[in-house]
Structure 1
Amino acid sequence: MVTTSQRRRERERREMRARLLQAARVIAAEEGWNAVTIRRIAGRLEYSAPVLYQHFSSKEELLTELMAVGFAELAGQLRLAAEGPPEGRLAAMAGAYWAFAFASPELYQAMNGMDGVPFGTAETPEEARNAFRTFRAALQEIARARGAELADPAGATDTMWAFLHGCVSLAMAGRIAGGTERARTLMVSALEPLFAAQVEG
């Protein structure tokens, strides 16, 4: 049986880990991911580094946890967007993806720029798989609402996700003329033709 003190310690552990992750995000937003170290986080929170190493053994472990948090947040936002009217659901999901990326660009970059994090394999983190499953289910529901089916559900999911990621990444890098608003407009206007190419029936 779990005691009250055990529950309290577990709650305090979760709260401390959340504070460490938030501090890492703040440092990354201010100075970039290269500036994020366990010692820098410890200094910001006014803890000694050994205390923090009790929660994360390395920067890599912390970034992996942060990536998982990010994909869980993204999945939640996609799920909310997918609850809207079928006719506007595709644009709503793209808008949710865009808003998530630009609300937390440092987190988005960590989620998509970490070496050694596998995607599309059995080793893909569960949080990332959940985000892809949410996206795929929503795309299938949109197709069914239009009296059609996805010709290749996995391929459609990869294609649409890659398109959104590409638009966001290019916009973040300033590679689309006209700035982020024009980039977002171009993304939304291309959604329907791209989706239509994924359906049959």
Structure 2
Amino acid sequence: MPETPSAPTSIRRLDTKDATRLARLVMAYDGMQTVLGSCERLMTLLGEEGETSDEVAVEALWTLVLLSYARAFTDGDGGPALGTRDLAGAEEDGEDVRRWHQLMLHLRDHHADSSGSPRESYTVGIAQDASSGSVNGVAVTSVRTPLVDPAAVRRAGAMAFRLCGVLDERIGRLQQDIVADVRDMSREKLERLDLVEVAPAP
């Protein structure tokens, strides 16, 4: 029985177009895993009825879901990891999935907006004396934005689960391509590449 290769303690840094692309894909995959984990936590907090005593945790987790999901479609080093063509599976209504995707991006913008609050909208008004009608003060009132509901959390988790599969397949193919490109590189050339220490797995 062949021995299982031990995990490396160091690697040689690759600075190529494919390496940059691979890093982007892995980042997006980790982000979608974060979406899945956060959705599981949200379902525990919300329950089937969508009621919770920890609104802060729900809002924090849902914001993390939105940011992590949208990041996979955002341009950057290596290009966007995913595009709209990756959204719909053969068994799904593609237009419906695209609408949900656009809603997720819209909600991300809303939750990440530094100029406003995603939780409440505020109105300032003048308070009047009941008998004379004269001004007797200024009031600030707010309307609370409803928390995310379990159905939306389940949908976000389902989309992230499928996209994890898309990313996993791309990562595997690109890893094979990179190995094929560098397999015949001489030891001398390899040792010119920057050495990166790798922390041992816990």
TM-score category by the smaller chain? 0.3 to 0.5
Answer 1 or 2: which has greater helix percent.
Answer: 1
- After TM superposition, the score normalised by the length of structure 1 is 0.40
- After TM superposition, the score normalised by the length of structure 2 is 0.40
Whose radius of gyration is greater, 1 or 2?
2
